[in-house]
Amino acid sequence: MRKTSVRPLLNWAGVGIIASVSVVFLLAALGALLGTDAILSMDERIQQLFYLNSDSRIYLLPFISFITALGSFNLSAIAAIGFSIPFLLQRRPRFLIYGYALLSSFAMMWILNTLLKEIFRRSRPELEHLLVVHGYSYPSGHAMISMGFYGMIFVIWAIERHQRLSGIALPVLCGIAFIVLVGLSRIMLGVHFPTDVFTGFAAGLAWIFCMIKGIKRSV
């Protein structure tokens, strides 16, 4: 039987950090090449489609506020602890790797997002914010945590289902739906530009790909 080691996971986590940061800078560079006016025009067109700016849409506010709360630091921290502890307590090598992957995904998505926002310092949209927000806009922390951390939960679910020959369609579809809803909620509430959300998704996805490699090499 192959011995389980956490070292490959740590190595790929390092690669994931570099990949996530690189994606954010590359997309920022692409935006600079296209020009600020072109990016803002694209953002505004998408915002007009989804922003809760009318009586016919505002009834969605309680539901959208609940969805967006799931991507907050406090609730994602509770989720990180709640999902990781059962894995770590089992002391089975495969589940220990899952626990480490979840905790590192939560920590790194928030740490990287905080640092990147301080670097880019993009102001939030000049729309009425339908909930209280603080800090800068680029990239979206909710998008990064939904993809990079919650996405890891769905990845683990998919891995376990695949090992049981149950198919991965259900966790993949559920994961996509959840992640898209969290990101879309930030646009609907007027607190992020669509490009903030897209970049957060891309950064989180780069992390996910690297962590999948790390999990496979570790178990």
SS (H, E, C) 82-142: HHHHHHHHHCCHHHHHHHHHHHHHHHHHHHHHHHHHHHHCCCCCCCCCCCCCCCCCCCCHH
Percent of the chain scoring above 70 in pLDDT: 98
- Sorted by where each begins, the domain ranges of the chain are 7-218
- Does 3 have pLDDT greater than 60? no
Q: Which of 60-64, 110-114, 179-183 has the lowest mean pLDDT?
A: 60-64
Mean pLDDT, the chain, whole residue set:
92
- Does 1 have pLDDT greater than 80? no
Question: What confidence tier does 4 reach under pLDDT thresholds 50, 70, 90?
Answer: low
The span from the CA of 186 to the CA of 193, in Å, is 8
Please state whether the peptide bond connecting residue 194 to the residue before it is cis, i.e. omega within 30 degrees of 0. Answer: no
* pLDDT value for 167: 83
- Does 208 have pLDDT greater than 60? yes
Query: To which residue do tokens 């339908």 refer?
Result: 130
* pLDDT value for 129: 86
- Residue 53 vs residues 27, 92, 120, 121, 174: alpha-carbon distances, Å: 28, 50, 28, 26, 28
- Does 207 have pLDDT greater than 90? yes
CB atoms within 10 A of CB 63: 12
The span from the CA of 40 to the CA of 51, in Å, is 15
- Does 23 have pLDDT greater than 90? yes
Question: What confidence tier does 46 reach under pLDDT thresholds 50, 70, 90?
Answer: very high
Structural contact between residues 211 and 9, judged by C-beta atoms closer than 8 angstroms: yes
* CATH level 3 topology of 7-218: Vanadium-containing Chloroperoxidase; domain 1 (1.20.144)
- Does 112 have pLDDT greater than 70? yes
For 124-167, write each residue's pLDDT tens digit. Answer: 998 888 888 888 999 999 999 999 999 999 999 999 988 887 78
